[in-house]
Amino acid sequence: MGSLISPTSPAGRWLGFVTAVWVQAISGNNYTFSNYSAALKTLMALTQLQLNSLSVAKDVGKAFGILAGLASDKLPTPVILLVGAVEGVVGYGVQWLVISRRIAPLPFWQMCFFLCLGGNSTTWMNTAVLVTCIRNFRRNRGPVSGILKGFVGLSTAIFTDVCSALFADDPAKFVLVLAVVPFVVCLAAILFLREVPPSASLGEEKEETKYFSVFNVLAVIVAVYLLVFDVTGPHGKNLSRAFACALLVLLAAPLGVPLHSTVQKWRHSGTKGDPESHAAEPLLVHDDAALGSPKKLEHVGFLAEKGRPVIGEDHTILEALRTVDFWILFISFLCGVGTGLAVMNNMGQLGLALGYVDVSIFVSLTSIWGFFGRILSGSISEYFIKRAGTPRPLWNAASQILMALGYIILALGLPGSLYIGSVVVGVCYGVRLAVTVPTASELFGLKYYGLIYNILILNLPLGSFLFSGLLAGLLYDAEATQLPGGGNTCVGAHCFRLVFVVMAMACAVGFVLDLWLACRTKGLYATICASKKSKKPTSSS
């Protein structure tokens, strides 16, 4: 029985994926600063500008994710997780000591350092689970990315709702949870999440597809459960605690997958199994490279030029940076996530400009629909690759053009436009994140994927700076100063109109780039499709 649930066994591989889901479900602690920022502001006697600087410090931590990328290509998964866990418990632990008044407030620069440390911790966690799981389930990269990124989207709501239910919004206890829970969850992942050989038979791949469907259903149930709780208004203490307990049960439900797999393997451990379980399966081009076996490209029509890898083979970061495809993907990703972050970061001012006092419903809509964008796009894009060889970048193109339409609707400032716009932006932002992650692995291989992924993720702070800090900030202030008497508050649809027009144009540029990338990679995805369709079960000896 013990061998059936070891990290290298099929059941152990699924148990590792469950712990990866849990890590993602708690990795949104970096987005919860507003839940305890008021306590820090009061204790440290900060101005609003200083408080905003602390917020920037935690976001700067993400920019150092490149360190996690470098380490992920050299160090095993447990070490990467341990670094993230220790960084988190130290970074948030010091914040807890200050907020709980166990120590005197530290100098401002030291607090910036510990917030940066806490922010950086999630980059190690995310890199560890994404890189490892995509390597372990490389024939289902879309569903893997959609599920893991989907739970990241829900993590902020999970933290906020559970802590509000159990601790009545006590900021000290909230930060203590941010320090302790991710540390404990990462320790569980350290025990079970390892890089293991991917499925090598038709039967195993069918099993993967079935189990990923289960994970998708459970994720949707969690999302709907959170949404219903959030939109049904205030709740009593007992009902809130019952909600929190039920949510924890839902998050534990994925354990049924490795349990079912263990039972199935146990039942068949004394038999040879069906013929499909031993069916030979040809590896994909990028699978060959990732597994370290000789590259065999002749049968798919790819020819290496002067020793350089071609699309589908393993690229080092320098080799990837020399390709046109990388920069097409990078810039189109910037257009999508950068503009989406601008909307999310300025939702408060946007709501006030359009006459809404409370914008929490729009924040919730963006978050929840962002989850659906992530979870659905991963599985749908994978389905069409297997069915027709549809290039995955086409889904990014579709999201870009839909996002541009959403910005046009927001620019018009019509009644209800913010509801429509927040849903559209949420969906498209989620699609960009979930689709770009597996696309990068398919184009540039898995051997150095950790670093390549973190280079792409630099678009998050870069996009936030360009579209939120510069574009939205400067144009909004320009509109506000034109009002009678000046001031720094603008009211009316015109406040963000030019911002949305410019962002719609940026999405149009991203749309063209994604179409170009889809055309350039059409042959690769046709090869992947042909490889999947060529798998035939063979008779067991």
pLDDT higher at 489 or 308: 308
Asked if pLDDT for residue 315 goes beyond 60, the answer is yes
Q: By three-state DSSP, how is residue 308 classified?
A: strand
Asked if pLDDT for residue 301 goes beyond 50, the answer is no
The whole-chain average pLDDT of the chain stands at 82
Domain ranges of the chain: 1-261, 312-533
Q: Please, are residues 9 and 207 in contact by the beta-carbon 8 Å criterion? A: no
SS (H, E, C) 310-347: CECECCCHHHHHCCHHHHHHHHHHHHHHHHHHHHHHCH
DSSP per-residue codes, 104-132: PPPPHHHHHHHHHHHHHHHHHHHHHHHHH
With vertex at residue 246, the alpha carbon angle to CA 243 and CA 249, rounded to the nearest 5 degrees, is 155
Share of the chain above pLDDT 70, in %: 85
Alpha helices in 137-201 (DSSP H): 141-167, 171-192
**Residues with Cβ < 8 Å from 75, sequence gap 6 or more?**
none
Rounded Cα distance, 195 and 84, in Å: 18
Q: Given this chain, do its domains 1-261 and 312-533 carry the same CATH topology?
A: yes
pLDDT higher at 503 or 310: 503
- Taking only the tens place, the pLDDT of each residue in 145-193 is 889 988 988 887 787 777 777 776 688 888 898 899 999 999 989 999 9
Q: How confident is residue 436, by pLDDT bands cut at 50, 70 and 90? A: very high
Buried b (16+ CB within 10 A) or exposed e, 120-143: bbbbbbbbbbbbbbbbbbbbbbbb
- Taking only the tens place, the pLDDT of each residue in 316-337 is 989 999 999 999 999 999 999 9
Please tell me the least confidently modeled range out of 148-152, 320-324, 360-364, 520-524.
360-364
Please tell me the least confidently modeled range out of 40-49, 133-142, 395-404.
40-49
With vertex at residue 18, the alpha carbon angle to CA 16 and CA 20, rounded to the nearest 5 degrees, is 70
Rounded Cα distance, 437 and 449, in Å: 10
Q: How far is CA 463 from CA 50, 336, 343, 483, in A?
A: 22, 9, 11, 29
- Taking only the tens place, the pLDDT of each residue in 217-236 is 999 999 888 888 877 767 77
Q: How confident is residue 483, by pLDDT bands cut at 50, 70 and 90? A: low
Q: Please, are residues 392 and 435 in contact by the beta-carbon 8 Å criterion? A: yes
Asked if pLDDT for residue 7 goes beyond 70, the answer is no
Give CATH for domain 1-261. Answer: 1.20.1250.20
Q: Please, are residues 363 and 419 in contact by the beta-carbon 8 Å criterion? A: no
Rounded Cα distance, 104 and 199, in Å: 54
Provide the sign of the torsion angle of the four alpha carbons 252, 253, 254, 260, taken in this order.
positive
What integer is the mean pLDDT of 56-62? 76
Residues 415/507/385/457 CA torsion (nearest 10 deg): -110
Provide the sign of the torsion angle of the four alpha carbons 501, 506, 511, 512, taken in this order.
positive
Check residue 297 and give its pLDDT: 38
Q: Within 10 A of 56 (CB to CB), how many other CB atoms are there?
A: 17
User: What one-character DSSP code corresponds to residue 472?
Assistant: I
Q: How confident is residue 487, by pLDDT bands cut at 50, 70 and 90? A: low
Would you say domain 312-533 falls under CATH 1.20.1250.20? yes
H or E stretch at 390? none
Q: By three-state DSSP, how is residue 305 classified?
A: strand
Provide the sign of the torsion angle of the four alpha carbons 76, 177, 462, 370, taken in this order.
positive
